Amino acid sequence: MSANRHMSVDSRGRGTPEAASGLVSGADGPAGSRSHNPISTRRASLMQEPVLVLNATYEPINVTAVRRAMVLMLKGVAQAEEMHSAEVHSATHAHRVPSVIRLLAYRHIPQQSRALSRKNILLRDRNTCQFCGRVFASSELTLDHVVPRSRGGRSSWENLVACCYRCNNSKGDRTPEEAGLKLARRPRPFTLHTSRQLMRLIGHRDERWRKYLFY
């Protein structure tokens, strides 16, 4: 479960087990191939699959999960532009799920910055602990103040990084130099440019995204 969630966040693409198995290739695969795994598990992981979000102008602006994308569609906020090859099955129906959605009303996205949030910092740092370089599930990461708050370090894009609990503990109330730790890279604000790069990485495994990502 956490492995699935982790992969949809990290999404370095092609080599993941999900991608390799074709993840419930509903439209293409034989119907009988469904019966191998419990539907609930597969359905849960499908609901976590990444969906590309386009502005009303077709400009890519975000990546969300199938579950959230379907809520936006139900609310009439967005419409599907591309469908996933997989389907979600209820008791009586098969529902196709989106791969790319588009907002129906234009939303202004500030050029330079995105909200400073835990989610966005983990996304910027690709769920990678910036000290040991290992990739973790979101639930196994915390945010570290590079210069500790007790030493005047601020909560800013330049001073917050994704950090595993182990590195966070060993760093304690010290600077990386004092703790003998080295940052993987200098933390920077998460710009639209950064997020486009991420979208491309995530989109590598979904051909349906390609035409929108080189906007």
Separation CA 162–CA 135 (nearest Å): 10
CB of 165 to Zn ion, least distance (A): 8
Q: Applying CB under 5 A, which part among 85-93, 166-174, 182-190, 197-205 lies near Zn ion?
A: 166-174
CB of 142 to Zn ion, least distance (A): 10
CB of 3 to Zn ion, least distance (A): 19
**Cβ contacts of residue 87 below 8 Å, gap of 6+?**
24, 26, 27, 94, 95, 96, 97
Binding Zn ion by CB under 5 A: which of 47, 73, 83, 132? 132
- Bridge-based pairing of strands 94-103 and 50-54 is parallel
What b-and-e string marks burial along 141-164, b requiring 16 or more CB atoms within 10 Å of the CB? bbbbbbebeeeebeeebebbbbbb
Task: Check residue 167 for interaction with Zn ion (CB under 5 A).
Answer: yes
Q: Applying CB under 5 A, which part among 70-78, 127-135, 150-158, 206-214 lies near Zn ion?
A: 127-135
The interface mask with Zn ion, positions 146-165, x = CB under 5 A, is: ------------------x-
Q: Where are the alpha helices (DSSP H) in the chain?
A: 2-10, 17-21, 39-47, 66-74, 118-124, 165-171, 176-179, 192-203, 207-213
Task: Check residue 131 for interaction with Zn ion (CB under 5 A).
Answer: yes
* Backbone φ/ψ region at 201: left (φ over 0), alpha (ψ -120 to 50), beta: alpha
Task: Check residue 181 for interaction with Zn ion (CB under 5 A).
Answer: no
Q: Applying CB under 5 A, which part among 89-97, 131-139, 146-154, 181-189 lies near Zn ion?
A: 131-139
The interface mask with Zn ion, positions 63-102, x = CB under 5 A, is: ----------------------------------------
Q: Which residue has the tokens 């993840």?
A: 23
Q: Phi and psi for 143 in degrees, rounded to 5? A: -100, 135
CB of 136 to Zn ion, least distance (A): 8
Task: Check residue 141 for interaction with Zn ion (CB under 5 A).
Answer: no
Task: Check residue 137 for interaction with Zn ion (CB under 5 A).
Answer: no
39 three-class SS: helix
The contact set with Zn ion (CB under 5 A) reads 129, 131-132, 164, 167
